[in-house]
C-alpha cells in the first residue's frame, strides 16, 4: 500500500544570528547580547515539524471543492484547483519544544523577540516542505492556499477542521507533530501554518486577494482584477 501520510521531523534550522538581528532591528549592545543567548538556546531546542498527505480533487461544484471525500467551501479553492488533480495537504510548525520553552519568558518585549525567532524557524520549515515535495514528486512550481489567510472570504478559518481531519484527524495531527486546533480554529503552537500545496505554472499568493492595508506579512500586492474575477 502506498503511504499517503508523511511526517518530516528532521528539518535543519539554518537561521543565522545576523538574520535575527536584522529582523528584530536591535542595536543596543545589552539587547544584542541577550538576544544572542536566547537565539542560541532556541536554535538548540527547536525541532520544526511537518505532517502532510497526498490528496485528490474529486469534484468542484460552484465554490464547493471535494477532496478525498471532504467538502471545502471557497471561491479561491474552486478557482485555483479547477485544473488540478493532486494536492498536498499539510500542517507545519516551529515545534512544541521551542514553543513550550519560550512561554517561560515573562518579559513582554523579550516574548515578542522569541515569537519572531519562532516565526523564522517556521518559515524555514515551510521552505523545506516546498523543496521536499518538489524534489520527491518531480514538480517545478508550487502554489499554496491557507484557511484563514487574507480576507475572510478567501478561505474561512473554520475550514481548518475538515483540513486537519483529512490529513490525519485532529487528534492524529496532535499526536504526530503536537499541533492542536482550538475551538476558534486557531493552531497551537501559534507559529504553525496549514493549507494545500498544489502544482501551478503561475504562483498564487493569498495576499493577492487580501485588501488589508499595512500588513507586515504581505508577500504580494492586492490584485483588484483577480479579486473581481474570483468573487464575481
Tens digits of residue pLDDT in 109-140: 999 999 999 999 999 999 999 999 999 999 99
Query: Does a structural domain hold residue 193?
Result: yes
* Domain ranges, residue 76: 5-202
Query: Does a structural domain hold residue 227?
Result: no
Q: pTM, whole model, 2 decimals?
A: 0.84
Give the model's confidence band at 191: pLDDT under 50 very low, under 70 low, under 90 confident, else very high.
very high
Q: Say if residues 76 and 155 touch (Cβ distance below 8 Å).
A: yes
Cell numbers placing 218: 504581505
Q: Domain of 52: which CATH number?
A: 3.40.109.40
Give the model's confidence band at 173: pLDDT under 50 very low, under 70 low, under 90 confident, else very high.
very high
Query: Does a structural domain hold residue 217?
Result: no
Q: Say if residues 198 and 137 touch (Cβ distance below 8 Å).
A: no
Query: Does a structural domain hold residue 208?
Result: no
pLDDT at 201 over 90: no
Q: Say if residues 5 and 53 touch (Cβ distance below 8 Å).
A: yes
Query: Does a structural domain hold residue 222?
Result: no
pLDDT at 203 over 70: no
Q: What's the alpha-carbon Rg for the chain, to the nearest Å?
A: 18
Q: Say if residues 59 and 66 touch (Cβ distance below 8 Å).
A: yes
The position carrying cell 517561560 is 104
What lies within 8 Å, CB to CB, of 64 at 6+ separation is 71, 72, 73, 78
pLDDT tens profile 90-102: 999 999 999 999 9
Query: Does a structural domain hold residue 226?
Result: no
pLDDT at 1 over 50: no
Query: Does a structural domain hold residue 39?
Result: yes
When pLDDT is averaged across residues 151-166 and rounded to a whole number, the result is 89
How many independent structural domains does the chain possess? 1
C-alpha angle 221/123/139, rounded to 5°?
A: 80
Give me the pLDDT at residue 211, please. 52
pLDDT at 190 over 70: yes
Give me the pLDDT at residue 178, please. 97
In DSSP terms, 88 is beta-bridged to 54, 197
- At 194 the three-state DSSP class reads strand
**In whole angstroms, what is the distance from residue 214 CA to residue 60 CA?**
34
Q: Which of 80, 86, 91 is nearest to 189 (CA)?
A: 91
- At 149 the three-state DSSP class reads coil
pLDDT tens profile 29-56: 999 999 999 999 999 999 999 999 999 9
What lies within 8 Å, CB to CB, of 39 at 6+ separation is 17, 20, 117
Query: Does a structural domain hold residue 213?
Result: no
Q: Which of 153, 227, 156, 138 is nearest to 195 (CA)?
A: 156
DSSP category for residue 183: T
Amino acid at each position: 500500500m502506498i503511504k499517503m501520510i508523511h511526517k518530516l521531523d528532521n528539518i535543519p534550522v539554518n537561521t543565522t544570528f545576523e538574520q535575527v538581528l536584522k529582523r528584530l532591528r536591535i542595536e543596543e549592545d545589552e539587547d544584542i547580547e541577550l538576544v544572542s543567548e536566547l537565539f542560541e538556546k532556541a536554535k538548540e531546542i527547536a525541532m520544526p515539524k511537518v505532517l502532510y498527505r497526498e490528496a485528490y480533487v474529486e469534484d468542484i461544484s460552484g465554490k464547493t471543492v471535494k477532496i478525498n471525500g471532504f467538502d471545502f467551501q471557497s471561491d479561491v479553492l474552486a478557482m485555483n484547483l479547477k485544473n488540478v488533480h493532486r494536492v498536498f495537504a499539510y500542517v507545519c510548525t516551529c515545534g512544541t519544544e521551542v514553543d513550550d520553552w519560550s512561554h517561560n519568558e515573562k518579559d513582554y518585549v523579550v516574548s515578542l523577540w522569541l515569537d519572531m525567532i519562532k516565526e523564522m524557524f517556521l518559515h524555514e520549515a515551510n521552505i523545506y516542505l516546498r523543496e521536499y515535495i518538489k524534489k520527491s514528486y518531480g514538480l517545478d512550481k508550487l502554489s499554496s492556499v491557507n484557511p484563514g489567510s487574507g480576507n475572510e472570504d478567501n478561505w474561512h478559518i473554520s475550514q481548518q477542521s475538515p483540513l486537519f481531519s483529512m490529513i490525519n484527524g485532529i487528534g492524529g495531527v496532535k499526536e504526530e507533530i503536537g499541533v492542536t486546533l482550538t475551538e476558534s480554529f486557531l493552531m497551537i503552537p501559534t507559529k504553525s501554518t496549514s493549507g494545500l500545496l498544489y502544482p501551478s505554472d503561475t504562483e498564487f499568493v493569498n495576499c493577492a486577494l487580501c485588501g488589508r492595508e499595512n500588513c507586515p506579512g504581505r508577500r504580494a500586492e492586492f490584485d483588484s482584477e483577480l479579486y473581481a474575477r474570483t468573487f464575481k
